[in-house]
């Protein structure tokens, strides 16, 4: 369902701006969400009244009942049309998932080497900035993720980014494409709380993305080596374009933001990288123990700053869910559920010191919960391992450069566009 700016708003004037403002503020302040999450965990019956699951056990149980708690809650926010994440697991979902699995399998062969290669190039591009500030998103993360995910569209990638008639290696056109998909992805996060202008922007870019993909459908069909009907290719290409890149870039920025807020952790990790650098230029890329250490940090940083702190589900039929309180909570048909992943990842039932930042924590039997920022159960992010590989490479690249800090002196270092960071200015110390 599209809501266009031409449609009368159901909300009184001003109220939408206020609720959107609160929503964006909460997304930028995960500490506040964690504090509310702690209350919901402590008194789970409150979550029951509100239709929210917060304890780790409750969240797992809700996310493993896709027929009772449906992903269709996302559908209204998919401005570029239906895609896997908003579908019930029907026949269309199954065919589309097979197509996606085929594309992701290609990344098995290319990652992490392709990400490392991209990072090594961009590290050299950052060095000349010296003490001058640069944008970590525009000058680094955006392009690394673009290159590392090249195999998703294979031979068609550059054509998709340039459009049917554009010059294939024009970075201006590529940047336009990356912004286009960011606005579409932003709508999934902001949902119908977004102001009408923001929703309209998502619609305009969704339309542009649809025509872009329609214009290069043949290239994608060839690259994917599929004989699927064009409509299937188009739905999946449009969906894959907006779901893959922006969320990964944004998670990278969130991870770095969290790391820079923890100077001791940053220093310790840098010290290890610098130590390896002294042993030879490739050591830092080849040392498996170091890569594992950085990956553990990426996961821990994302636990503190998940891009999806909450997930929504539709409730198609009357049901109940186990909140952890003495009585199950009733969920009336036609309602919605809010799943507080950010609360579940800090549940002391997992570990009494779970509130501590500890990349080396042994999650033991709860290892699966360590990845909860990617969802859980059958609808968990199918690309989570690849995304973490790419972010691990990106972080290694930053650790071998001079020490990074948020830029000072020229206004705010971090600029937001709704709940997403649009700019993160940093400089070397």
Q: How far is CA 413 from CA 31, 135, 274, 408, 425, in A?
A: 20, 9, 26, 7, 5
Q: Which stretch binds ligand HEM (CB under 6 A): 12-20, 119-127, 206-214, 379-387?
A: 379-387
User: How many angstroms separate the CA atoms of 318 and 331, rounded?
Assistant: 6
User: How many angstroms separate the CA atoms of 377 and 280, rounded?
Assistant: 42
CB of 4 to ligand HEM, least distance (A): 25
In the list 243, 345, 398, 404, the residue contacting ligand HEM (rule: CB under 6 A) is 243
Q: Which stretch binds ligand HEM (CB under 6 A): 2-10, 21-29, 194-202, 377-385?
A: 377-385
Contact residues for 424 (Cβ-Cβ < 8 A; gap 6+) = 135, 136, 137, 253, 256, 257, 406, 413, 414
Which residue in the block uniquely carries the two structure tokens 């992701």? Answer: 104
Q: State the DSSP H helix or E strand holding residue 335, giving kind and residue range, or none if neither.
A: strand 335-339
54 contacts 40 by C-beta, under 8 angstroms: yes
CA angle 97, 142, 298 (to 5 degrees): 75
CB of 71 to ligand HEM, least distance (A): 6
Is 381 a binder of ligand HEM (CB under 6 A)? yes
Site for ligand HEM in 289-308 (CB under 6 A): 307-308
Question: Quick one: 162 or 390, whose CB is closer to ligand HEM?
Answer: 390
Is 310 a binder of ligand HEM (CB under 6 A)? no
Report the candidate in 233, 202, 240 with the shortest Cα–Cα distance to residue 218.
Answer: 233
Question: Quick one: 76 or 164, whose CB is closer to ligand HEM?
Answer: 76
Is 251 a binder of ligand HEM (CB under 6 A)? yes
Question: Quick one: 162 or 345, whose CB is closer to ligand HEM?
Answer: 345
Which 3 state secondary structure label does DSSP give 423?
A: strand
In the list 133, 248, 295, 319, the residue contacting ligand HEM (rule: CB under 6 A) is 248
Q: Give 200-233 as a DSSP string.
A: HHHHHHHHHHHHHHHHTHHHHHHHHT----HHHH
CB of 358 to ligand HEM, least distance (A): 20
Site for ligand HEM in 347-366 (CB under 6 A): none
Question: Quick one: 89 or 402, whose CB is closer to ligand HEM?
Answer: 89
Burial 124-152 (b: 16+ CB within 10 A, else e): eebeeeeeebbbbbbbbbbbbbbbbbbbb
Binding residues for ligand HEM, rule CB under 6 A, total 21
247 contacts 307 by C-beta, under 8 angstroms: yes
CB of 301 to ligand HEM, least distance (A): 11
Q: How far is CA 314 from CA 11, 52, 76, 376, in A?
A: 22, 12, 11, 16
Is 85 a binder of ligand HEM (CB under 6 A)? yes
Question: Quick one: 147 or 272, whose CB is closer to ligand HEM?
Answer: 147
User: How many angstroms separate the CA atoms of 312 and 68, rounded?
Assistant: 13
In the list 99, 114, 301, 387, the residue contacting ligand HEM (rule: CB under 6 A) is 387
Is 311 a binder of ligand HEM (CB under 6 A)? yes
Q: Which stretch binds ligand HEM (CB under 6 A): 128-136, 164-172, 374-382, 410-418?
A: 374-382
Site for ligand HEM in 184-213 (CB under 6 A): none
Which residue in the block uniquely carries the two structure tokens 């600029």? Answer: 415
Which residue in the block uniquely carries the two structure tokens 């409150």? Answer: 46
CB of 373 to ligand HEM, least distance (A): 6
Question: Quick one: 244 or 323, whose CB is closer to ligand HEM?
Answer: 244
CB of 327 to ligand HEM, least distance (A): 26
Site for ligand HEM in 13-42 (CB under 6 A): none
325 contacts 45 by C-beta, under 8 angstroms: yes
Residue 395, preceding peptide bond in cis (omega within 30° of 0): no
Is 69 a binder of ligand HEM (CB under 6 A)? no
Site for ligand HEM in 130-189 (CB under 6 A): 152
In the list 16, 61, 201, 379, the residue contacting ligand HEM (rule: CB under 6 A) is 379
Is 122 a binder of ligand HEM (CB under 6 A)? no
Contact code string over 92-111 relative to ligand HEM, x by CB under 6 A: --------x-----------
Question: Quick one: 47 or 151, whose CB is closer to ligand HEM?
Answer: 151
139 contacts 126 by C-beta, under 8 angstroms: yes
CB of 135 to ligand HEM, least distance (A): 19
345 contacts 311 by C-beta, under 8 angstroms: no
Residues that bind ligand HEM (CB under 6 A): 71, 84-85, 100, 152, 243-244, 247-248, 251, 307-308, 311, 373-375, 379, 381-383, 387
């Amino acid at each position: 369902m599209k809501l266009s700016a031409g449609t009368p708003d159901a909300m009184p004037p001003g109220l939408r701006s206020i609720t959107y403002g609160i929503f964006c503020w909460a997304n930028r302040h995960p500490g506040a969400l964690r504090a509310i999450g702690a209350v919901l965990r402590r008194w789970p019956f409150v979550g029951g009244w509100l239709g929210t699951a917060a304890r780790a056990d409750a969240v797992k149980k809700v996310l493993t009942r896709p027929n009772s708690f449906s992903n269709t809650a996302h559908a209204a926010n998919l401005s570029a049309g239906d895609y896997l994440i908003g579908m019930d697991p029907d026949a269309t979902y199954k065919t589309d998932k097979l197509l996606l699995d085929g594309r992701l399998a290609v990344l098995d062969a290319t990652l992490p080497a392709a990400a490392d290669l991209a990072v090594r190039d961009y590290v050299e591009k950052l060095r000349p900035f010296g003490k001058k500030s640069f944008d970590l998103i525009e000058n680094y993360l955006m392009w690394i993720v673009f290159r590392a995910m090249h195999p998703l569209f294979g031979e068609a990638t550059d054509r998709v980014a340039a459009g049917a008639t554009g010059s294939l290696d024009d970075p201006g056109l590529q940047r336009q494409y990356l912004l286009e998909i960011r606005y579409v992805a932003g709508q999934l996060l902001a949902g119908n709380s977004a102001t009408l202008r923001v929703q309209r922007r998502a619609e305009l870019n969704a339309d542009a993305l649809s025509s872009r993909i329609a214009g290069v459908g043949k290239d994608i069909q060839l690259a994917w080596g599929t004989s699927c009907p064009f409509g299937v290719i188009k739905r999946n290409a449009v969906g894959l374009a907006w779901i893959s890149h922006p969320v990964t870039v944004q998670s990278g920025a969130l991870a770095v933001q969290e790391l820079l807020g923890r100077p001791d952790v940053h220093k310790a990790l840098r010290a290890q990288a610098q130590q390896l650098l002294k042993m030879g230029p490739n050591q830092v890329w080849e040392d498996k123990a170091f890569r594992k250490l950085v990956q553990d940090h990426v996961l821990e940083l994302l636990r503190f700053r998940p891009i999806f702190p909450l997930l929504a589900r539709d409730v198609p039929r009357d049901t109940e869910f186990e909140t952890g309180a003495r009585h199950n909570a009733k969920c009336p048909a036609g309602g919605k559920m809010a799943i507080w992943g950010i609360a579940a990842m800090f549940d002391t039932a997992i570990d009494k010191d779970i509130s501590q930042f500890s990349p080396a924590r042994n999650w033991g039997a709860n290892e699966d919960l360590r990845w909860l920022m990617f969802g859980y159960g059958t609808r968990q992010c199918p690309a989570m391992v690849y995304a973490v590989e790419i972010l691990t490479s990106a972080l290694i690249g930053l650790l071998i450069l001079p020490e990074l800090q948020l830029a000072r002196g020229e206004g705010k270092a971090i600029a937001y566009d709704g709940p997403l960071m649009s700019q993160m200015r940093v400089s070397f110390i």
